[in-house]
Structure 1
């Protein structure tokens, strides 16, 4: 223990005989379990920081390049053609939006996994959350046909986190849908399904879709931080549910979110 405190070397384990069950043995096993958990947490934290730095570098580099071009034009008195200037400003705006979204996603993922969430949860009409997310999705994909069959279901969750999770699922479907495509949304008996008719997800990529910063090679040219589905998985897990992505029959992908709840709200306590 003194060695760990002095060196912060969390890989050290106290040797314990398998058949020993006295107080020292139990304490040693508990200490080994604690240091293993701390080591895993530290590794995840370092990986998150490294991944975040990598993701932030791309929009920052693009921003710096565009701003330097605009600054050089002002300093030298050589105006940039109007069409090019508009394109540069549009690129700056897009990169700032991407940075803001990435920072927001990182803040969401940096929140503690347990404890603090319980005080913010309450009984919610999940159908209302889905309807609100559908309105946003239709604005983002006006060329798409988004069908919806939404039936009442009440869940216990954190309001803002649940809405963000549903929005992320719908955004994914909108982003990967072909032009003039269809997205089918259904909520019934505590199961939300969102089915798109896009290119689908290769079988070898399915195990990674909920990993932080993971993006399919075919999607790296599209906007996004690679954190959306990680946030979905985290939110659904906190609400006691599960989320899966599976290939849809006939092509495309079906996202399925299951949350415990009931078709009617619980009676109010007098």
Structure 2
């Protein structure tokens, strides 16, 4: 069995499908042929039985059995004594009855006395082998009969009707050899048809498997092409709406997603390299200047050295922020596992973020309207998002300006009174590394709002950025998060 399973498992999918199709058709043909054979056999047996049922119960017609005496040479003294009380007066056997019927439906009768003596019908040449159970018919009621399979003397098969007449048993038999021969020929015919059907089913199954698995071949070729060339984004044509079409559509979606992922990865690496180049170049220039001043023995003036070190520190801080932002964005864009999402008090996060923003903008005013709001999400990620929104507001607010922040019914708004964002640039504000041309001289990596969008989406919310609705200067960032006003 293991060897058979290994042989079957080593076959191709097309071969296995063809084999299963041929096997299913073979079983169906075999069952149909078997059912057909049994139905024909039952019909033939029923016709033979009907023929026997139509044969007379008495082989003597209207004559009285007691008016006939049988020669002892034919029936035996015991049988003659059982059949009649007078002496034998005739040489006729059974009143000259002849066998009846044609073909399958010939029949002939014989008498069996109580001691087992057999008397053949006149002119009959076939004797039926007597079963000892046949003598039980002596207790039958008038017109009561039974049927059994039997044989003639010599072995030919027959169907036998057993009945009682007077004080003897009447066995009426009909030969079934021709019927058995016909059934045997029918079995051979059905077997041949079944064999041809199995061969045809195998060939048809092969063709069907080849046609049905053509999309799978295309899918396999596409996968092998991607594995060989690493050219993600390859798609295959989709036809219909069956399971294979769904598989092809899923593969196309996966291939497109991989291509988009690779494109985003490539763009992220390129943008990160571009952003890292500027601070690294500045750091290298400053370090070279310090080394050259030491090598030449001409130290820099203290004020210049202090300013140079302060610039290097600022550049290191910029690099640290940029690397932190890249690590934050390196997480998958899909939702984080459920176990990392907890109930978060958003109003407490807002208060902590405002305290940090006050340190970064000591000359600014903060107008707060904060109501309790509890959300289900990643606490550190949401806190980083709120801090980034406040950092942008602080960065673009004029000296002495006011930053307005409100949290009401799950809607967080942060507004500054800075120059605002041109309408044609609003569609790019959440792109990674995108920075407005007017703000590229300000510190920042262009990743802050991308982090905000990712954190809010992971919490099931939405974020948008637009001009102030009251017609004044500035920009309003709006965040909507599902939650509730009371702690769960």
TM norm structure 1: 0.95
Matched, 1:34 2:227: no
Alignment of 1:1-270 (within 5 A): 1-17=223-239, 20-114=240-334, 116-248=336-468, 249-266=471-488
Q: Is the 8 A contact 1:117 1:158 kept in 2?
A: no
SS in 1 for 2:227: helix
User: Structure 1's 224 and 264: CA in aligned 2 closer, same or farther, altered over 3 A?
Assistant: same
Cα drift, residue 159 of structure 1:
1.1
User: SS in structure 2 opposite 1:215?
Assistant: coil
Contact 1:246 1:254 in 2 (8 A): yes
Aligned residue in 1 for 2:218? none
Larger Rg: 2
Equivalenced residues, count: 264
Inter-partner Cα distance in structure 1 for 2:235 and 2:486: 51
Q: Distance in 2 between matches of 1:79 and 1:71?
A: 10
Q: Give unpaired runs (5+ residues) of structure 1.
A: none
The residue matched to 1:204 in structure 2 has which SS? Answer: helix
Deviation >3 Å, runs of 4+: none
Long gaps (5+) in structure 2: 1-222
Q: Do the aligned partners of 2:336 and 2:458 also contact (CA within 8 Å) in 1?
A: no
Tell whether the 8 Å contact from 1:154 to 1:265 is kept in structure 2 after alignment.
yes
| Alignment root-mean-square deviation, CA | 1.1
Measure the CA separation in 1 of the matches of 2:369 and 2:335: 35
Task: Give the SS at the match of 2:403.
Answer: strand
TM-score under structure 2 normalisation? 0.53
Q: Report which structure shows greater RCO (CA 8 Å, sep ≥6).
A: 1
